[in-house]
A = this chain, B = another copy of it.
């Protein structure tokens, strides 16, 4: 890395970009549904992949279990999510979206799609593909 310049430092660039994009998209779920980022991400996972345990959400989303625990409680209070104790292992519980939660998910999914389209407009297809793959690779 001969030409290293601090303004190219990846954690820094990632943070700035993440902050900005999150802030922008936050408007959607915060204003409309009073949700926090972690809550939206849980809705995202359950809506996208269906019923799963908190632990699974943690590992899929790289989220800490206390954060998830609290967000799950908040979503339950909003009646967006329901819990069901596992029969085979009573330590864990299966989480899933309620009918209302699913409706919220569908709307947010549409907003996400619109956001993504606007976003992708700034890049060529190749750039966008490489960016996406790189970001995925980073968190494997």
Footprint of B on A, CB under 8 Å? 1, 4, 6-22, 24-25, 37, 41, 44, 47-48, 61-62, 109, 112-113, 115-117, 119-120, 122-123, 126-127, 130-139
Contact = CB atoms under 8 A, between A and B. Distances in A.
B62 A20 contact: yes
B117 A17 contact: no
A17 B139 contact: yes
B6 A10 contact: no
A130 B125 CA distance: 12
Contacts of A119: 10
B18 A14 contact: yes
Query: Which DSSP category, helix, strand, loop or mixed, fits chain A's interface?
Result: helix
What number of copies of this chain does the assembly contain?
2
Given A16-B62, A18-B18, A137 B112 contact: no
A6 B44 contact: yes
9 contacts: A4-B113, A6-B47, A7-B48, A12-B44, A13-B139, A16-B61, A17-B18, A130-B134, A131-B131
A12 B132 CA distance: 11
Contacts of A41: 12
Contacts of A132: 8, 10, 13
A4 B62 contact: no
